[in-house]
């Protein structure tokens, strides 16, 4: 069956992980073979990079160093995980990918968008997603969800460096994502993430089903 590379994007707490789990179950129930992965941290080397990238201890990382670690993670992940899974005919569901770099490092941190596009192209090495689900939500709501999730899991409330960022930062990142959706209307599908988990899951299924039917 046809391989498909689907990425999930959106600010913290929009429900990316929740919806990937739902979509994975639905695809498996339809007999599809699915590979769930994420960035950063989808490969063995990436897991080490993820720890460095998200640790609150590394608050002194400069924006360019941060960028290159994300790109290193992506290059390794594409070659070691994404490409082989697609070659094996699997549907790859990836929690964050190249759009996160543009949204967070450009809109969020202020690096130049054209530079990020060029560096992303190097890291992705031709393996762009077939489809990107962009979960869109007000940052107040997303962060509240993410913080209560962390509390429920017994973690420090602001578990990672991005959760500890200001609301203004996340509002810029959201706008960065919305601009990406305008730039790439064929690849990126915008989904309102303010509804219930089930409503969003249905919207995501409809988009994916249409894409699978289209072949």
Ligand X SMILES: Nc1ncnc2c1ncn2[C@@H]1O[C@H](COP(=O)(O)OP(=O)(O)OP(=O)(O)O)[C@@H](O)[C@H]1O
Per the structure block, which two tokens stand in for 209?
């089903």
Name which position in 4, 5, 9, 15 contacts ligand X (CB under 6 A): 15
Question: How many residues of this chain bind ligand X (CB under 6 A)?
Answer: 14
Name which position in 5, 9, 13, 71 contacts ligand X (CB under 6 A): 13
Name which position in 188, 200, 204, 208 contacts ligand X (CB under 6 A): 200
17 binds Mg ion (CB under 5 A): yes
Residue ranges of alpha helices (H) inside the chain are 16-29, 44-54, 63-77, 83-87, 98-100, 113-124, 139-152, 167-183, 197-214
CB of 143 to ligand X, least distance (A): 9
18 binds ligand X (CB under 6 A): yes
Name which position in 2, 25, 56, 197 contacts ligand X (CB under 6 A): 197
- Residue 3 vs 178, nearer CB to ligand X: 178
Nearest to 101 by CA among 164, 142, 150, 53: 53
196 binds ligand X (CB under 6 A): yes
Task: Return the range that interacts with ligand X (CB under 6 A); candidates 8-16, 72-80, 97-105, 122-130.
Answer: 8-16
Which residue in the shown chain puts its C-beta closest to Mg ion?
17
Per the structure block, which two tokens stand in for 135?
């979960």
16 binds ligand X (CB under 6 A): yes
CB of 14 to ligand X, least distance (A): 4
59 touches, from Mg ion, ligand X, none (C-beta below 5 to 8 Å by class): none
Task: Return the range that interacts with ligand X (CB under 6 A); candidates 52-60, 102-110, 144-152, 169-177.
Answer: 144-152
CB of 87 to ligand X, least distance (A): 27
160-165: list long-range contacts, CB under 8 Å, 24+ apart.
160/54, 160/55, 160/56, 161/53, 161/54, 161/55, 161/56, 161/58, 161/59, 162/12, 162/54, 162/104, 163/12, 164/56, 165/108
**164: preceding bond cis by omega (within 30 degrees):** no
Per the structure block, which two tokens stand in for 80?
């070691």
Residues 6+ apart with CB under 8 A from 23: 6, 93, 201, 204, 205, 208
Binding site for Mg ion (CB under 5 A): 16-17
Binding site for ligand X (CB under 6 A): 10, 12-18, 145-146, 149, 196-197, 200
């Amino acid at each position: 069956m046809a391989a498909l590379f689907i990425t999930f994007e959106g600010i913290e707490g929009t429900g990316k992980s929740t919806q990937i789990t739902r979509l994975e179950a639905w695809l498996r129930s339809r007999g599809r073979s699915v590979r769930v992965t994420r960035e950063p941290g989808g490969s063995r080397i990436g897991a080490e990079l993820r720890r460095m990238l998200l640790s609150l201890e590394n608050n002194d990382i400069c924006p360019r160093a941060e960028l290159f670690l994300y790109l290193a993670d992506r290059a390794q992940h594409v070659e070691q995980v994404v490409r082989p899974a697609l070659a094996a005919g699997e549907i790859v569901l990836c929690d964050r990918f190249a759009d996160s770099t543009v949204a967070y490092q450009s809109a969020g941190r202020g690096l130049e968008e054209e530079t990020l596009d060029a560096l992303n192209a190097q890291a992705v090495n031709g393996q762009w997603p077939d489809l990107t689900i962009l979960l869109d939500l007000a940052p107040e709501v997303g962060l509240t969800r993410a913080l209560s999730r962390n509390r429920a899991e017994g973690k420090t409330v602001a578990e990672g460096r991005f959760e500890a960022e200001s609301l203004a930062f996340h509002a810029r990142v959201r706008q960065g994502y919305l601009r990406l959706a305008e730039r790439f209307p064929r690849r990126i599908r915008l989904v309102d993430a303010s509804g219930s988990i089930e409503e969003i899951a249905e919207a995501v299924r409809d988009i994916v089903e249409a894409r699978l039917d289209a072949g």
